[in-house]
Amino acid sequence: MASTTTGIRVSKKHIQFLALQLTLLGTVFCGNVLIWPSDGSHWLNIKIVIQELIRREHNVTILVSNASLIITPHGETAEKFEVFPVPLGKKYIDSLIKDMVNLWLYNKPTALTFWKFYKELGKLASKLNEGNRLACDGVLANQDLMSRL
């Protein structure tokens, strides 16, 4: 190990790894980008990133479920949308979001309701996890979609 004037010890392996990274830096290109956003602020924020990727001539494919509330695929844009089916509908997603907002806004925990609040939060988290699992299954089990991606 080499010791620097600041007392930081640098191993030969670290230097070799850094040299390898620097030699590969110029050869890394990415032309195809797959984006799988969720409804809500994540989608609103990532739209700016998508526009910049397209401006830089990347091929952008956006995965969206047929139960999405906010993300609406349209054909006249530079983005390519791939819609996949899920066994739950828009009502399921809408009610889950409303239940979560209502819990956080109107059922704030107090000393007397602390456990009740977190019990309800746990139920909503379980519903959210189930919806996410169904969405993952909807993509991974869809052989046509997987071959296009």
Domain boundaries, the chain: 2-148
Q: What strands, in cross-sheet order, belong to the sheet with 32-35?
A: 32-35, 59-65, 80-84
pLDDT at residue 122 in the model:
92
Which residue do the tokens 């979560």 mark?
A: 100
pLDDT of residue 123: 92
* Torsion over CA: 138, 144, 147, 148 (sign): negative
**Whole-number average pLDDT of the chain:** 81
Condensed to tens digits (0 to 9), the pLDDT of residues 46-75 reads: 888 888 888 888 888 888 888 888 888 876
